[in-house]
């Protein structure tokens, strides 16, 4: 039987887990970071492929509202480690940042690997050890975490743990949600896709013809919320930043009613009256298709408008035949699209649901398992893209680390034997080629 140690197990080598490891190792604690993948922070590296949107520059009061129902829960940790602090942290690791025109903050390198490389080097210098290809499978009789490894089963000889295993999006990068079965029943809200696309009730011919087409700078409205940006037509639905911004409301409506009604403003830069006037111009026998082309509607937008007219019984077309275009203009400004389901979890950017607030204390420690803290996307919150996701992962990871640090100080544990000294885990992370 292994001798119990004071070594802290951080399970999950993403931003939340590494942030907790940073706080704890800085305080002098021995930390072992476990991860089931062959290299750390794979989803973080994937985020770097689109520039690594670390955070957002909007004022903190507005920033916090992006967490919706979880605002009050996350506010203390995000306030303790706000966007300005995250930016300074990255710059201290040699990665200067800039703010884009939309307020999003990126490292100047526009990728994650230089930042991750510097971060891992800092952690290694503080004695943090990585045990990779270790899949968490539950708890030992002594209360510590157990792992499945290529060499067989392994139990961490200690009960102080930070869980930071992510949600269930991008399972091939390690976030597969398998941990949900390892926590007590009722402690986890069901995981659902967030920042995801939605399937539509539009004809398959529309998706086959326009898959990959972008509806540029449209405005979406649903459930009293609005969002503007580019929307991409997929094989079975719609996706893009404005869709993601409305995802929580759309998902809730579909869960309650079976479908959701999305209104698309196909020409947000023009009022309905002006549209009607411009549509009316031209020869009396000019086709409707030509009139729509003249006001800048692309083929995909014209298809959506045609479907809306067909579903509405053709009122707009009959109005046009009579020389009145106001009804058609109104439909252009508010073109209905019926959504039937969110995309699958595996296609989502992030996850909603997770470990419920009620089962955690204010320091993110599980109430029924003292010494075990939870951080990152495992927690029951969601946020839109734009830097809000990573910000909360960093902030909750640091908060869990601070919580563990305070917990250990309160217990006044003596120095125990070290699993690191015992050689039970590898002292080096097996890094992917871009970090070698």
Helix axes 272-280, 326-333, angle to 10 degrees: 130
pLDDT recorded at residue 85: 99
> Higher-confidence residue: 319 or 244?
244
Provide the 10 A C-beta neighbour count for residue 342: 24
Contact 135, 175 (CB under 8 A): no
DSSP state for residue 5 in the 8-state scheme: B
Helix axes 388-411, 83-92, angle to 10 degrees: 80
Q: What is the pLDDT of residues 163-193, one digit of tens each?
A: 999 999 989 999 999 999 999 999 999 999 9
For 61, 111, 133, 230, the CA distances from 120, given in Å and listed in that order, are 32, 16, 17, 36
296/115 Cα distance (integer angstroms): 43
Average pLDDT over residues 249-269: 97
Per DSSP bridges, beta strands 135-139 and 145-149 are: antiparallel
Per DSSP bridges, beta strands 55-56 and 335-342 are: unpaired
pLDDT recorded at residue 109: 97
What is the pTM for the complete model shown?
0.89
pLDDT recorded at residue 280: 87
11/373 Cα distance (integer angstroms): 10
Q: Does an H or E element contain 130, and which?
A: strand 129-132
- CA-based torsion, 289, 294, 300, 305: positive or negative: negative
103/302 Cα distance (integer angstroms): 32
Q: What is the pLDDT of residues 327-339, one digit of tens each?
A: 899 999 999 999 9
Segments of 343-381 assigned E as strands: 350-355, 372-374
Of 250, 149, 148, the closest CA to residue 196 belongs to 250
70/104 Cα distance (integer angstroms): 21
For 47, 181, 261, 322, 330, the CA distances from 285, given in Å and listed in that order, are 52, 66, 34, 12, 22
Query: DSSP alpha helices (H): ranges in 151-246?
Result: 204-210, 241-245
pLDDT over 70 at 430, yes or no = no
- CA-based torsion, 155, 160, 166, 168: positive or negative: positive
382/167 Cα distance (integer angstroms): 10
Contact 7, 32 (CB under 8 A): yes
DSSP string over 295-310:
TT--HHHHHHHHHHHH
Tell me what percent of the residues of the chain surpass a pLDDT of 70: 91
Q: What is the pLDDT of residues 344-400, one digit of tens each?
A: 999 999 999 999 999 999 999 999 999 999 999 999 999 999 999 999 999 999 999
- CA-based torsion, 69, 240, 54, 160: positive or negative: positive
Q: Which domains does the chain have, with CATH numbers?
A: 8-193+347-435 (3.50.50.60), 198-342 (no CATH)
254/46 Cα distance (integer angstroms): 30
125/389 Cα distance (integer angstroms): 28
For residue 184, what are the β-bridge partners? none
pLDDT-derived band at 315, boundaries 50, 70, 90: low
């Amino acid at each position: 039987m292994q001798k119990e140690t004071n070594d802290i197990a951080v399970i999950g080598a993403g931003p939340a887990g590494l942030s907790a490891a940073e706080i704890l190792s800085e305080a002098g604690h021995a930390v072992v970071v476990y991860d089931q993948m062959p290299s750390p922070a794979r989803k973080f590296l994937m985020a770097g492929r689109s520039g690594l949107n670390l955070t957002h520059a909007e004022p903190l009061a507005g920033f916090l509202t992006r967490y919706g129902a979880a605002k009050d829960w996350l506010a203390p940790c995000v306030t303790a480690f706000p966007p300005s602090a995250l930016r300074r942290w990255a710059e201290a690791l040699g990665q200067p940042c800039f703010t884009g025109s939309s307020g999003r903050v990126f490292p100047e390198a526009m990728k994650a690997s230089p930042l991750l490389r510097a971060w891992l080097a800092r952690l290694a210098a503080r004695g943090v050890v990585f045990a990779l290809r270790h899949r968490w499978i539950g708890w030992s009789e002594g209360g510590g975490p157990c792992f499945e490894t290529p060499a067989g089963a392994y139990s961490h000889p200690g009960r102080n743990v930070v869980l930071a295993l992510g949600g269930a999006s991008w399972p091939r990068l390690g976030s597969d949600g398998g941990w949900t079965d390892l926590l007590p029943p009722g402690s986890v809200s069901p995981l659902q896709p967030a920042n995801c696309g939605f399937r539509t009730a539009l004809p398959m011919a529309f998706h086959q013809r326009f898959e990959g087409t972008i509806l540029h700078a449209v405005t979406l409205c649903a459930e009293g919320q609005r969002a503007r940006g580019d929307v991409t037509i997929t094989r079975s639905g719609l996706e893009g930043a404005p869709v993601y911004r409305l995802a929580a409301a759309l998902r809730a409506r579909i869960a309650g009613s079976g479908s959701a009604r999305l209104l698309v403003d196909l020409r947000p830069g023009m009022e309905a009256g002006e549209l009607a006037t411009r549509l009316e111009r031209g020869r009396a026998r000019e086709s409707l298709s030509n009139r729509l082309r003249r006001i800048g509607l692309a083929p995909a937008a014209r298809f959506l408008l045609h479907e809306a007219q067909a579903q509405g019984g053709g009122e707009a077309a009959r109005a046009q035949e009579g020389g009145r275009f106001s009804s058609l203009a109104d439909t252009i400004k508010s073109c209905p699209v019926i959504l039937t389901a969110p995309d699958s979890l595996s296609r989502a950017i992030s996850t909603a649901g997770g470990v419920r607030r009620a089962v955690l204390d204010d320091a993110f420690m599980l109430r029924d398992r003292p010494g075990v803290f939870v951080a990152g996307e495992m927690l029951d919150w969601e946020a839109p893209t734009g830097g809000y996701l990573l910000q909360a992962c960093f902030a909750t990871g640091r908060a869990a680390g601070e919580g563990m640090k305070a917990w250990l100080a309160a217990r006044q544990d003596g120095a125990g034997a070290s699993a690191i000294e015992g050689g039970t885990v590898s002292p080096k992370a097996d890094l992917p080629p871009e970090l070698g």
